[in-house]
Amino acid sequence: MIYRTIGLMSGSSLDGLDIAYVEFEEIGGKWTHHVLASGCVSYDEEWCHRLSNAKELSAKNLHILDMQYGAFLGQQVNAFMEKHLLDYKVALIASHGHTVFHEPGVSSVQIGHGAAIAAATKLPVVSDLRSMDVALGGQGAPIVPMGEKILFPGVSYFLNIGGIANISYHDQLIHDAFDVCPANRVLNMLSAHVGKAYDNAGSLAASGKVDDELLRELNALHYYREVYPKSLANDFGTDVVYPIILSYALSTEDALATYVEHIASQVADAVRMICFERTLALSGDNMVISGGGALNKYLVEKISAHLAPFSIAVSIPDESTIHYKEAIIMALLGVLRWREEDTVMASVTGASRDSIGGALWMGN
């Protein structure tokens, strides 16, 4: 079977809406995929403000924003299809939405209503991909590992560095995944102190010095001692980690250097945790890094250095996978939902069972 699907992903770092048009083929349970077109729609100042402040809205106004943002997503998909001449070629849209609330095991709310997308595009839409897992007692995250298992066989560890860094481990029998620590969201907030949207290639961090006392305080935060399944809300980075960093009154360069070191050390600790829980050998595996953080050369170097004692080979994938891996996987999860196959693995979320997640909205 061949499916041509659009996947939408909006990350917590607010760097924009990722759109990927992907062709999937399934033969005898084995899947291949090709990214036929992709792009990122940057949020303007108004949308950045509305999305970043959505959690402060009343229930009524949040519902209004949910529908308005869904209409915006539909408009962007229409523009994308027109640009790439995709009329009559897209079978399905799968949208992650933009996370407003994530209370692990209690609720996970993504806005961008699927009905509004379907109405604007006149195409079937799969949305609300996390709620079924939460209803089954799961964290509602992470949901990407199902796609990693299907589309990228042979990779032991995946590290996605977005607003939050998350890690997953796969072999023939074991599939583990969890959020590691806040990442780009905090790095970008620090870079803003010197008028930069982000630290290009990590050059600012590379010029700074690590503050050992701050590093110890960050590494001692309680979340890092919790066993998985576990996941993070954006608030942990913005309301807990960022104020701690500010309290040290460091230069921007030193703050960035320290936080890069913190991310790298937490990635190494995450690998140790997985290996301890599963009694795995700390050697001989590979790790693929994707997300915007994969372009932060200094951060990748620091992660590689921390993983060197484990003989874990770190690599950066092709450009489409770096930028659009999560949108690609959202597109696949939409296909799985259409086929009424599991989209979420209970082994990574802590739910009572695997589940088929996603609401389906017919556009015509």
How far from chain centre, in Å, is Cα 113? 19
Instruction: Determine the Cα–Cα distance for residues 15 and 98; give it in Å rounded to an integer.
Output: 12
Q: Is the pLDDT of residue 362 over 90?
A: yes
Q: Is the pLDDT of residue 27 over 70?
A: yes
Mean pLDDT, residues 173-196 taken together: 95
Which DSSP state fits 295?
G
Q: Is the pLDDT of residue 172 over 90?
A: no
CA-wise closest residue to 102 among 72, 129, 126, 74 = 129
Q: Is the pLDDT of residue 261 over 70?
A: yes
Q: What is the mean pLDDT of the chain?
A: 95
pLDDT for the residue 262: 98
pLDDT for the residue 234: 86
Signed CA dihedral, 348, 352, 353, 358: sign only: negative
96-100: long-range contacts (C-beta < 8 A, 24 or more apart)?
A: 96/7, 96/8, 96/9, 96/10, 96/129, 96/326, 96/330, 97/8, 97/10, 97/69, 97/127, 97/128, 98/10, 98/51, 98/54, 98/69, 99/12, 99/234, 100/54, 100/55, 100/62
The domains of the chain, with CATH numbers, are: 2-146+324-361 (3.30.420.40), 157-311 (3.30.420.40)
CA-wise closest residue to 183 among 161, 168, 215, 203 = 161
Q: Is the pLDDT of residue 283 over 70?
A: no
Q: Is the pLDDT of residue 33 over 90?
A: yes
Mean pLDDT, residues 34-59 taken together: 96
The answer to whether 163 touches 151, Cβ cutoff 8 Å, is no
The answer to whether 332 touches 150, Cβ cutoff 8 Å, is yes
Q: Is the pLDDT of residue 255 over 90?
A: yes
pLDDT for the residue 158: 96
CA-wise closest residue to 151 among 22, 54, 265 = 22
Contacts of 113 (CB under 8 A, 6+ apart): 66, 67, 69, 70, 127
pLDDT for the residue 109: 95
pLDDT for the residue 11: 85
pLDDT bucket at 360, cuts 50 / 70 / 90: very high
Contacts of 257 (CB under 8 A, 6+ apart): 205, 206, 207, 208, 209, 210
More confident of the two residues 340 and 15: 340
How many residues would you count in the chain?
Answer: 364
Mean pLDDT, residues 207-235 taken together: 96
Q: pLDDT, tens digit, for every residue of 69-95?
A: 999 999 999 999 999 999 889 999 999
The pTM for the full model equals 0.92
CA-wise closest residue to 235 among 124, 38, 103 = 103
pLDDT bucket at 154, cuts 50 / 70 / 90: confident
Mean pLDDT, residues 283-311 taken together: 93
Mean pLDDT, residues 210-234 taken together: 96
pLDDT bucket at 19, cuts 50 / 70 / 90: very high
Q: pLDDT, tens digit, for every residue of 337-353?
A: 999 999 999 999 999 99
pLDDT for the residue 15: 85
User: In 10 A of CB 227, how many CB atoms?
Assistant: 9
pLDDT for the residue 54: 96
The answer to whether 202 touches 296, Cβ cutoff 8 Å, is yes
pLDDT for the residue 173: 82
